[in-house]
A and B are shown apart, each in its own frame.
Chain A
Amino acid sequence: MEGNRLSRWFDRKGWSDLLIGAPYVWLLLFFLLPFLIVVAMSLGTKTPTAPPISFGGDYPLFNFQGYVRAVTDTLYFRAFITSLVSAGIATLLCLLIGYPMALGLTRVSKSWRNILLMLVILPFWTSFLLRVYAWMGLMGRSSWFNAGITKIWNAIVPAGWAVDFMPMMHSNFAVVLVMVYTYLPFMILPLYASLERLDPTLDEAALDLGSRPWQVFLDVTLPQSIPGIVAGGMLVFIPAAGELVIPTLVGDASSPMIGRVISDQFSSARDWPMASAIAVVLLVLMVGPAMIYSHFQAKAEGSK
């Protein structure tokens, strides 16, 4: 195997450990260490000092109050649900919109493909914040966009339901809409990568054996693209569930999402243990299923 030869070469050179270790060092420094700090903070007690957290002394060494409140307080519970449901809907919509786009990318000629891929990535060249502000303008009651949608709505519903404008801003609808817009490329790219590897003669083989094109999609294309769906789904769902900026700018302030709650606990409430505890719960909720999936995935790979 090529890989083995390469790694033997590194072994001889004596810097393979360094090379293999580098990503782990990175993860250790910038993920595990901060995470451990967050876990530690989640066990502290809120105090009117600076920093507003204490361990031991007059206070308990391990204070589980944050966790207790995070899982019992209905405010937090509702915030979790709002976040997970919004992120879930956004992920599903990204999948429904992104899948045909990714499939389309694999079916066009090479030159068109590069142009279209560029267009998928193009939004990243503009500041994220600017793009959210653009959406705020579009959804606002006096915009042409809102006026257009209002017109369509009034044309199709009974007269009694007619409205002057669409109350799009400051709603979960707005959050999901902007999330879909923002995260769509993160769905399209991994899907495209997994679909692009598929052998088109497999489609022909299925057609030849009597399947119509939609059956070929269900039997051959879809099952083989599951890794791409999972990768895209996680890339959209995980940041969407913890999203802070979008709900803050376009969301409904009366039903905050969990990112907003964490941020508020850290800054205005100055309750670091509480904020940390919520962050840990959120992480477990999201990373847990991902780890279970990759465990089974590794098992399936292992049996190959």
Chain B
Amino acid sequence: MAAAGEPFLRIENISKFFGPFQAVKDVSLNVAKGEIFSLLGGSGCGKTTLLRMLAGFEEPTSGKIFLDGRDMTGVAPWDRPVHMMFQSYALFPHMSVEKNIGYGLKHEKMSAQKKASRVREMLELVQLVPYATRKPHQISGGQRQRVALARALARQPKLLLLDEPLAALDKKLRERTQFELMSIQQRTGVTFIVVTHDQEEAMTLSDRIAVMDKGEVKQIGSPGEVYEFPNSKFVADFIGSITSFPATILERQTGQLRLSVPALGGEVMARDVPGLSEGQEATLAIRPEKLLISKDRPEGANAFQGTVKDLAYFGKDSLYRVILPSGVLVQAHAVNATRGGEAARVADWDDRVWISFAPSSAIVLAE
């Protein structure tokens, strides 16, 4: 059992080299019991490699993994209470759905009757009872995904690793399956580590997200934290869309920063970020939905005038591309709260408009 205060899964300074190439760079993170934790990052950033080290298929070049207080170094994959749902599902083609699900139970000391009822329970969990005797090639992709999930859950692992569990499904099915996955996780209470390159999926599914880039973990936090308070340009860019400008810090006041942003043609007030000093070069970033657009000059700071260059009507909202006197283009969303179609929009092509944002909406990054 884990000591009090010890996290359920502790990854400590893990690195992995393939020859001279470093696929995972000094990753440390903790996962709590019962959490859905996502590893989010672009292709080739080392997500699968990290997962394979947790499953025991790869030995870390350095660093340690502790699961429930136990050091996993040198523990073979078949001895780990960790099961994996493979990206390709890896169902055994010569076994029926129920044989696939029951495969791991082979190694459990329980009566045949109990095993059968456990398989049945799993079939019910993933709603595949009518397909129990079919072979994997006789069911649909979505059903295969559920067999893979049931197979990995059947032995009640302490930790379930899911490598891009939804990537092979089409968009509609993927959305539905996301919620199914969450409900199954809640019912079983198993700790999930989900690998994904889809930021929306990570935001929906996870309690916490680790954003990875080139083998490094850039930020760990709840979906809200990584979206609203990204700690680097990479994270800000990777999660959602964002507009960023070079800035210089002019002054630190109590709880506020005053920045000079040449691209916006003026000064900006923003919420203070620890670790910044006056005179430092920084980046000001802002999400499009935090930018307001209006015909008249709004109250308060952070308002800049520009000309509407382009607009797109999406029904529930419109996207404006506004060109500032400095020649910089910014994007702003405006919700179409009143009915009236194109005629009711805030501004038209070539209108002079004001772009503004609250100081608390501005993200200042020290890069």
Contacts and interface: CB of A to CB of B under 8 A. Distances in A.
Given A201-B86, A201-B90, A304-B135, A208 B106 contact: no
A223 interface: yes
Given A207-B77, A209-B83, A224-B93, A201 B138 contact: no
A202 B103 contact: no
Interface in B120-138: 135, 137-138
B269 to A, nearest CB: 54
Nearest to A210: B107
B78 interface: yes
A77 B155 CA distance: 56
Given A210-B78, A304-B138, A205 B90 contact: yes
Contact of A211 (B56, B94, B106, B137): B106
Interface residues of B, number: 26
B90 A202 contact: yes
B57 interface: yes
B77 A219 contact: no
B151 interface: yes
Contacts of B91: 205
Interface string B253-283: 0000000000000000000000000000000
Contacts of A209: 78, 83, 103-104, 107, 151-152, 155
Contacts of A207: 57, 76-78
Interface size class on chain A is 10 to 19
Q: Chain A binding site: helix, strand, loop or mixed by DSSP? A: helix
Contacts of A219: 92, 103
B55 interface: yes
Nearest to A201: B90
B18 to A, nearest CB: 15
25 contacts: A201-B90, A202-B90, A202-B92, A202-B93, A204-B77, A204-B86, A205-B84, A205-B91, A207-B57, A207-B78, A208-B57, A208-B78, A208-B83, A208-B84, A209-B78, A209-B83, A209-B152, A210-B78, A210-B104, A211-B106, A212-B78, A219-B103, A223-B94, A224-B93, A304-B138
* Nearest 8 Cβ contacts at the A-B interface: A209-B104, A210-B107, A205-B90, A201-B90, A207-B77, A210-B78, A208-B84, A223-B94
Interface of A: 199, 201-202, 204-212, 219-220, 223-224, 304
